[in-house]
């Protein structure tokens, strides 16, 4: 607690020293200093505005968005807001209104409380239905001259600590959207395997995206995930649907992005998905809007894609084939039908966006994608300027289209990850760091009844010192690679084990111990 005499001494210091001291003060001490006198408010304003308003979070709510508009009209605060976060706080989350109505009938909820929630939920939906949310966001974004980053945060990232300064975190301060306290918004769809099943997050993302495009504001990054966990909502294909009238703005705004981080579901509400046995490589109606969106982002330096869908879905294979597709001019032979075109001519299919080139891409992060080994190699071949990459929850599998499944009783053990590392010294030569985490292999096998089943094998990385018989834990499933010489990758391949290889090692160890 800062007393009045200490405050007077602080206010006499030069601004540079004063700001340095402020950077090490507790949030409450800064507020106390501001409340003492007019001089305190004036001298702390620059630091306070930067630390409190450079990153601000709002929700789809009339009061919250009007607050953002008011900040954008402030002559000083509008200049310091560089990172805008819109969180998908859904007021009628998980049937809250139904629960309130049940308690209202039992007399546990006052009529005015039930009415308050009902009006709030209806207003939130109206903001999205009528385009008012897009209009208010556009008004605000157009008046934020230094806006650099836009994030759409899933509502399940609810209690994330916010540091007001670079050195101090206030454990009692919880990052909340402006306006959320009025509704005590709860995390949405907790425990659900389909957190975006109602499409609310799609609509929030679409509103924010169209607002940015309408303003023509040049920003450097768009993100839909702010933490490393897997609990945030993933966007369906409808979230990326752009009005044709905004295509020219999309070329300018999305083409100016240097970083893009998307959590996507690889699904569409317009189509029912089918299994891997019936699809066209490089083309999928479930991701056509996503791929068109990506085709605008030709200047990216960092692309991060998180996928939320079963690795047995055809959308994985089709999107991976599209990502690694050659961007050279396609050629169709005389009389060749679009459905019979070669692997490098997917862009000839009517309506299929041309694959991305990304000549300036230096970092590529893939999370949750399932793809053939040939597609993974083709991705690193195509984006040959990469210096950093992260592969998390990536599953290598052979697409059943044109591939004969392995017999169910076969003893053959194919480790495509080891093969990839062993043969990639030239392919990965420019990389400086490759992070690998929770990799897997998906096999398709024939059963005795000629039914095709799948078998998922996890990948372990055996330590350099090897395994000991008395080890109480499994080998690690993550590793960071910084040496891409041929010998180093050979060693990496040797210690890349399938789960069943590790199981057989344990079985042999047990047999050796028997008398």
| Structural domain total, the chain | 1
What contacts 69, CB < 8 A, 6 or more positions away? Answer: 136, 139, 140, 143
Token digits for 215?
A: 């303003």
4 located within any domain: yes
**Does 197 reside within a domain?**
no
In a domain, 256, yes or no: no
pTM (two decimals)? 0.82
- The answer to whether the beta carbons of residues 275 and 311 sit under 8 Å apart is no
Helix, coil or strand: residue 74: coil
Q: Please indicate, yes or no, if residue 209 is contained in any of the structural domains.
A: no
What DSSP state is assigned to residue 219?
Answer: -
Closest Cα to residue 296, out of 382, 209, 238?
209
Q: Kindly state whether residue 29 falls inside one of the protein's structural domains.
A: yes
Q: How far is CA 19 from CA 25, 33, 146, 456, in A?
A: 10, 13, 22, 56
What is the rounded distance in angstroms from the CA atom of residue 460 to the CA atom of residue 124? 47
- Tens of each residue's pLDDT in the chain, 515 residues: 555 555 555 665 566 666 666 665 666 666 666 655 665 556 566 666 676 778 888 999 999 999 999 999 999 889 999 999 998 888 876 666 676 666 666 666 667 777 777 888 899 999 999 999 999 999 999 999 999 999 998 754 333 333 333 333 333 344 578 777 666 544 443 333 344 557 888 999 999 999 999 999 999 999 986 444 444 567 888 999 999 999 999 999 999 999 999 988 877 766 665 554 556 666 777 788 999 999 999 999 999 998 876 665 667 888 888 898 877 544 444 444 443 333 445 555 666 788 899 999 999 999 989 898 999 999 999 999 999 999 999 999 876 655 555 555 555 667 999 999 999 999 999 999 999 999 999 876 655 555 455 678 899 999 877 776 666 678 999 999 999 999 999 999 999 999 888 888 887 766 555 55
Write out the residue range of the structural domain in which residue 41 sits: 1-53
Is the residue at 38 inside a domain?
yes
User: How far is it, in rounded angstroms, from Cα 148 to Cα 467?
Assistant: 48
CA distance 353 to 286: 13
Beta bridge partners of 85: 57, 151
**3-state SS class at 121:** helix
Instruction: Detail the DSSP E strand segments found in 168-226.
Output: 221-223
- A 10 A CB-CB count for 162 gives 15
């Amino acid at each position: 607690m800062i007393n009045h005499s200490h405050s007077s001494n602080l206010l006499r210091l030069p601004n540079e020293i004063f700001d340095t001291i402020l950077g090490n003060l507790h949030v409450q001490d800064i507020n106390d200093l501001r409340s003492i006198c007019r001089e305190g408010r004036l001298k702390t304003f620059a630091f306070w505005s930067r630390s409190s308003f450079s990153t601000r979070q709002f929700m789809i709510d009339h009061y919250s968005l009007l607050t953002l508009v008011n900040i954008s009209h402030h002559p000083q605060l509008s200049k310091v807001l560089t990172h805008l976060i819109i969180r998908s706080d859904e007021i009628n989350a998980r049937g809250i209104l139904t629960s309130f109505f049940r308690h209202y009938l039992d007399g546990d909820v006052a009529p005015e409380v039930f009415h308050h929630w009902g009006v709030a939920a209806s207003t939130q939906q109206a903001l999205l239905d009528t385009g008012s949310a897009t209009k208010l966001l556009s008004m605000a974004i157009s008046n934020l001259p230094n806006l650099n980053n836009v994030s759409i945060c899933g509502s399940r990232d609810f209690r994330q600590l916010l540091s007001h300064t670079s050195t101090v975190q206030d454990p009692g301060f919880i990052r909340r959207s402006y306006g959320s306290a009025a509704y005590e918004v709860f995390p949405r769809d907790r425990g659900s395997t389909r957190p975006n099943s109602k499409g609310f997050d799609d609509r929030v993302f679409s509103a924010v995206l169209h607002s940015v495009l309408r303003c023509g504001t040049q920003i450097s990054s768009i993100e839909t995930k702010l933490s490393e966990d897997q609990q945030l909502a993933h966007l369906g294909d409808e979230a990326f649907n752009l009005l044709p009238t905004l295509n020219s703005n999309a070329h300018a705004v999305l083409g100016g992005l240097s970083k893009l981080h998307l959590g996507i579901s690889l699904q569409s509400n317009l189509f029912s998905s089918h299994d891997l046995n019936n699809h066209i490589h490089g083309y999928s109606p479930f991701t056509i809007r996503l791929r068109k969106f990506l085709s605008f982002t030709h200047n990216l330096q960092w692309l991060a894609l998180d996928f939320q869908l079963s690795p047995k879905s055809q959308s994985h294979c089709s999107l991976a084939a599209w990502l690694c597709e050659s961007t050279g001019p396609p050629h169709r032979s005389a009389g060749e039908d679009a459905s019979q075109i070669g692997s490098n001519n997917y862009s000839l299919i009517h309506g299929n966006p041309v694959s991305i080139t990304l000549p300036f891409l230096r970092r590529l992060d893939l999370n949750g994608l399932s793809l053939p080994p040939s597609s993974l190699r083709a991705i690193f071949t195509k984006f040959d300027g990469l210096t950093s990459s992260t592969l998390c929850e990536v599953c290598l599998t052979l697409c059943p289209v044109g591939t004969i499944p392995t017999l169910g009783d076969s003893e053959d053990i194919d480790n495509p990850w080891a093969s990839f590392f062993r043969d990639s010294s030239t392919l990965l030569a420019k990389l400086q760091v490759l992070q690998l985490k929770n990799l897997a292999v998906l096999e398709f096998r024939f059963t005795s009844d000629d039914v095709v089943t799948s078998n998922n094998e996890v990948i372990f990385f055996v330590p350099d010192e090897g395994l000991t018989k008395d080890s109480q834990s499994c080998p690690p499933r993550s590793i960071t690679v910084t040496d891409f010489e041929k010998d180093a990758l050979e060693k990496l391949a040797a210690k890349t084990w399938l789960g069943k290889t590790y199981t057989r090692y344990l079985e042999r160890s047990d047999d050796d111990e028997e008398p």
